Amino acid sequence: MADPLLGRNLGGKFTLESVLGTGAMGAVYRARHVTLDATFAVKVMHEDIATDATFAERFHREARAASRLDHINVIRVVDFGMEPDGILYIVMEYVEGYDLFQVVRRDWPLSEARMVDLLAQALSGVAAAHDMGVVHRDLKPENIMVATRVGDDGVKREVV
């Protein structure tokens, strides 16, 4: 059965194109910003969670706080909202890569140096969030993205 949200536009800006993953809180979609023609990740909360007024208020408060985070190892929150029909969503930068669970499963065993590097980057991002009072309530390998970037020196590196 096709996902009923595919093709839907949220906030008048983001068209949901494909499902990237699902979890206990909701589903994450690859989305296209209609005027910028840019790709974003949009997390849509499950309906039963989104309709809880206490959750919705906490979600908005945490999304505002997360949007102020500016750290190389933290995915940036760029927008959030609630649709008239109650759909609650958060828009994040899109990272082309794999989650840490996939990396470990694919490349096991990882060298000590690689494990330390990846975890140090992840913990650096978590520390920056905690310094701003933001607590990630579902920190696990599936929620840590690993991408390959080319540094200013021309060397490819894994970035969390």
- Residue 132 to residues 43, 50, 67, 115, Cα–Cα distance (Å): 22, 25, 11, 26
**Residue where the block lists tokens 């082309």:** 96
Q: Which residue has the tokens 């949007």?
A: 67
Q: DSSP assignment, residue 137?
A: T
**What's the rounded Cα separation, in Å, for the pair 66 and 11?**
19
Instruction: Provide the 3-class DSSP secondary structure of residue 20.
Output: strand
Q: Residue 72: CB partners within 8 Å, gap ≥ 6?
A: 125, 159
Catalytic residue among 70, 85, 138, 152: 138
- Joined together, the tokens standing for residue 155 give 């060397």
Instruction: Check if 48 is active-site.
Output: no
Which active-site residues does the annotation give? Answer: 138
